[in-house]
Structure 1
Amino acid sequence: MTRQTPYAVRYTPRRSLEAGGTVVTDAQLVYRLLLAVDIQGYSARNAKEQLVAQRELSAALSRAANDLGLDRDLWDKQVGGDGELAILPPGADIPKIVGEFPRRLTEELNEYNRLRTEGRPLRVRLAMHHGTLIEGPFGPAGEAPVEITRLLDADQLRALLGERTADPLVFAISAALYEEVVQSGFCALDPSGFKPVELSVKGIRYSGYLYHDGR
């Protein structure tokens, strides 16, 4: 039986006699825009503070998406306690989202931090990538979810958030987004505001760009 998902990937489990009865899958490889976000210092918060951080980040993400005419309910989300990996539906306006979503989310986080009466400020890392994935029984599989996770967890991005103490958000994009979208001239972000970063994780190299905004 085929199970449909919000990002329109077909996943059809079947029994394979050749594989001795193990479950194999037929799936459609698709290109999607992915966003990943992670809360700084999440594990240092107590249970109440963690819950507040989760709720406020979710609300900020929804408001930032709504400002761009996006319905976050249509995103396929793989959530963790300190953030989420979101896969946007087909047809997403990639230049607009890449160019404007970080700014909108920054505005929402700044507003929350300004109005909060107690607790830690909400500060996050954001990563964006456009690549291939397929649906798996435990979540999306493929190049795109792996690469965006590597970018989000990059030491260089963590260090940048540590340095920019007045900023609620820092972000990185994949080399593919930088070369195909930011440099296209159809994106609101200035290519000169980025600096390249190289990662090597478990013997595999990844390339990305950190946004420095000329600083």
Structure 2
Amino acid sequence: MSSFEAVHRWVVSADIMGSGRLGQRAKLRSRRGMYDVFESAFDAVGVAAQQMHLEDRGDGVLAALAPHVPPSALVGLWLEEVYQGVREHNAGLHQPLRLRIAMHGGPVGHDGRGLVGRAVDLTCRLCDSDPARAILAADDTVEVVFVASDVLYRSVVVEEGRFVEPAHYRPYPVRVKETDELAWFYVPGREQPPAPAGAPVQRGPAGARPAPRARAAAGARAEAGTPRPTKYAITVNGHNQIVDGAEVHGDVIGFRGADDEHGTGPAGRGRR
């Protein structure tokens, strides 16, 4: 199809968590809710039906957006509208709608039967990844987990914008089949997603500004005089000594370095 030549497009993959355990009525309700939420969110950012290709995946959807659709709107207002729509849909439901959503961009084609391209493959694997599943499993109150590829995060998310919060994303590796990628995980409405079981503690993204609460907490610690962490420690042997930062004042009998257990090597010969 000429309208879907292999050109750069942003791809969105979404999946309903636990749909295989739902009864027929609950399954239909979840699918209807997912479509209503997505259609409203795309309307909110001005993406009409003719500006995207949408495929039904049974318990999810796969979409490729027209090249001119700005990705900043997708990771900003669109994602916020999805989150708020899911919250509204779930009000009072015993079996709430919970979504995994992934996004990545790259050359995408169409062979007359569906979307084709490495960007499509990676987006689907990010959506179906173990960390995305584990984040939802770690906290039953999480309704949406969003997965951004490293390309999307570093080229779009870090630039910030309305409803875009790069400091609230956390990186985890995604390893499945031939995929070995770093991806960025975000839970709307949270300062950080719940850590997947067994995952290492992740620091905030490099270069991103800390969240307002984190900045406030850091300021409070500074005002309270909480000592800052140090990169090294000093052990001093002697009397009448005052240690000020990295300087020692007083009669120093000797000191011991990390490579000198008894103070007799180069580190232990600094006497005066």
The TM-score with structure 1 as length reference comes to 0.81
Deviation at 1:205, TM superposition (A): 1.3
Contact 2:44–2:77, Cα closer than 8 Å, also in 1: no
RMSD: 1.8
- Over 3 Å off, 4+ runs: 185-188
After TM superposition, the structure 1 = structure 2 runs for residues 23-172 of structure 1, keeping only pairs within 5 Å, are 28-72=5-49, 74-116=51-93, 120-172=95-147
Other structure's SS at 2:91 match: helix
Structure whose CA Rg is larger: 2
Deviation at 1:115, TM superposition (A): 4.9
The TM-score with structure 2 as length reference comes to 0.65
Deviation at 1:74, TM superposition (A): 3.4
Q: Distance in 2 between matches of 1:185 and 1:210?
A: 15
The 1:129/1:204 distance shift into structure 2, 3 A limit, reads: closer
Q: Distance in 2 between matches of 1:65 and 1:112?
A: 17
Contact 1:96–1:188, Cα closer than 8 Å, also in 2: no
Larger relative contact order, structure 1 or 2 (CA cutoff 8 Å, min sep 6): 1
Count of paired positions? 190
The 1:120/1:186 distance shift into structure 2, 3 A limit, reads: closer
| Structure 1 segments unaligned to the other structure (5+ residues) | 10-27
Contact 1:99–1:189, Cα closer than 8 Å, also in 2: yes
Q: Distance in 2 between matches of 1:56 and 1:104?
A: 13
| Structure 2 segments unaligned to the other structure (5+ residues) | 193-272
Identity over the aligned pairs, expressed in percent? 26
Match status 1:180 vs 2:159: no
Which residue number corresponds to residue 13 of structure 1?
none
Contact 1:125–1:157, Cα closer than 8 Å, also in 2: yes
